[in-house]
Structure 1
């Protein structure tokens, strides 16, 4: 078997399991258009005043959390959360091919990872059941459109909080701090992005990782559909490197024994759960859920399970910032 064939095998298996296998009753692999009733229900508790562009003096500042956090049977009447509970499930846009964050397990067929754990916390808080959740697999480029069109209630897909994105969606408080790095072949002598002049570097379309390649004019940017698409291109020799958040690259390296992650992080990538800008009540509710998970050890248990083995231990979750 050729070296190329050996390298392509791991991702071929990942793609096969991502597109097939047993799934939850609420688990889907495409983003269908929402029915009129679902769209109306999802937006019925919204706040129209929040649809205006939001000032971005502090990119991490989110809306104050609900205090106290209401239980599933005490949700405010007419709220977005009450509409979700009436529907019977939380609809979340996720990745199914970001190992450690959101990826389909080849044995169980379930999508799982750190991002999925965060979404399940919200489902449990609204519906009393973490399994009352519909996971809709989306690409990085679909994250904002599915929220603007109210096709999902929230997006939990390693989405960096930026001022530009605040103009289109609303973010929770930061739930994870990542950093952009680069993945190269195992025999590469490069030690950082600065050593990749003339190299073809892949990142998903519409991602901050791809946009940041503008800071390296001698690098040749290549847009992929997803990081898995970038990994296929990398394994087939169409690109020389992949750039992205360290969390994502750790998952890619785990799938390819001929790849390694190099250098220090050259950006800060604060992740937030994203919601529609006219559903600020849901943002405040989610912030209360995240704060509770950070305080009671639930967040740290999820980090230790999914990310600590690849990225090492950390002292505490990122602090929540409010005042928007």
Structure 2
């Protein structure tokens, strides 16, 4: 056994590599050969050079055309549900009932809406609870849901090719999306705001002039930022988790998206806060194949029920109370 003291109790002189390391620690300022001693990295100060951007990040080019906002078409108009007690099973609903489960596309990285519990491994959140209520009405059992993890960029295609029966993924109903899929009635209304560090001087969108803001590409949030703050630099990343990382590392000055999504980031990192007025309203809808009118009507029947019997408010209070008191379920808007 190696000992640090001799038989008389006097300290032995360290030998070999241990001696070199101690010399380096004692006189690093006077030596140039001790290259293993490094100064810790400085805390980011906002010049965007301390850390590389997250994988897949890019600086978005300035907008060259005006992208339509949510209110520029009737994207929230959906199909009226059948009257209570009159729900004839059409072809898609019959297919789901014969299968014995409804297949729902979700995103496991959307904290408070649909994320995986690290202990149980279960997918949970506001969107997940809405899916369980749809299963309750379609199949008589809220547990008869098969959740399939879908990348947000693939959700439209997943519905179009029937990989899933529907997606419930905190999706803002826009004109472009409504031309590709059928939407349910609005099931949640978010407002686009800003997430910034606690010590930040940013309080409103105007404070972002000449600064960087993080967004996911080709989203209503990104286009709203470009419309309202023309000289802002938009950093796009694959998903919103990457935006939080970029903000934590000082690579961007703010994240801008729906307040409900920002709340999930703020809960994960209490050093962040939500600020500013609502920049744009974001109505969420459930995406369904355009050929499945019977399923759209059935889902809208569920949304009416949970708004009427208090289930919607209970789900809100379970996950989103950090946004304030429940506003109640959105009032549906129908096209027929």
TM-score range, shorter chain: 0.7 to 0.9
Distance (whole Å) between structure 2 residues aligned to residue 57 and residue 195 of structure 1:
30
1:182 offset after TM fit, Å? 0.9
1:288 aligns with 2:301: yes
Q: Which residue of 2 aligns with 1:19?
A: none
1:242 aligns with 2:255: yes
What RMSD, in angstroms, separates the aligned Cα atoms of the two structures?
2.1
Query: Contact 2:224–2:279 at 8 Å: present in 1 too?
Result: no
1:61 aligns with 2:74: no
Q: Which residue of 1 aligns with 2:162?
A: 150
Q: Which residue of 1 aligns with 2:233?
A: 220
1:255 offset after TM fit, Å? 0.8
Rg comparison, structure with higher value:
2
Q: Which runs of 5+ in 2 are unaligned?
A: 1-39, 45-71
Query: Contact 1:69–1:285 at 8 Å: present in 2 too?
Result: no
1:175 aligns with 2:187: yes
Query: Contact 2:138–2:298 at 8 Å: present in 1 too?
Result: no
* Distance change (3 Å), C-alpha of 1:168 and 1:188: same
Distance (whole Å) between structure 2 residues aligned to residue 93 and residue 3 of structure 1:
42
TM-score, length-normalised on structure 1?
0.78
Distance (whole Å) between structure 2 residues aligned to residue 295 and residue 271 of structure 1:
18
Query: Contact 1:114–1:306 at 8 Å: present in 2 too?
Result: yes
Aligned with 1:247: secondary structure? helix
1:158 offset after TM fit, Å? 0.7
Corresponding pairs, count: 269
Distance (whole Å) between structure 1 residues aligned to residue 124 and residue 295 of structure 2:
23
1:57 offset after TM fit, Å? 5.6
Aligned with 2:223: secondary structure? helix
Q: Which residue of 2 aligns with 1:188?
A: 200
* Distance change (3 Å), C-alpha of 1:2 and 1:128: farther
Aligned with 1:159: secondary structure? strand
Q: Which residue of 2 aligns with 1:267?
A: 280
1:135 offset after TM fit, Å? 1.4
Q: Which residue of 1 aligns with 2:101?
A: 89
Aligned with 1:183: secondary structure? strand
1:2 offset after TM fit, Å? 8.2
Query: Contact 1:4–1:235 at 8 Å: present in 2 too?
Result: no
- Structure 1 runs of 4+ off > 6 angstroms? 1-5
1:198 offset after TM fit, Å? 2.1
1:119 offset after TM fit, Å? 1.0
TM-score, length-normalised on structure 2?
0.75
1:134 aligns with 2:143: no
* Distance change (3 Å), C-alpha of 1:3 and 1:182: farther
Aligned with 2:172: secondary structure? coil
Distance (whole Å) between structure 1 residues aligned to residue 299 and residue 203 of structure 2:
39
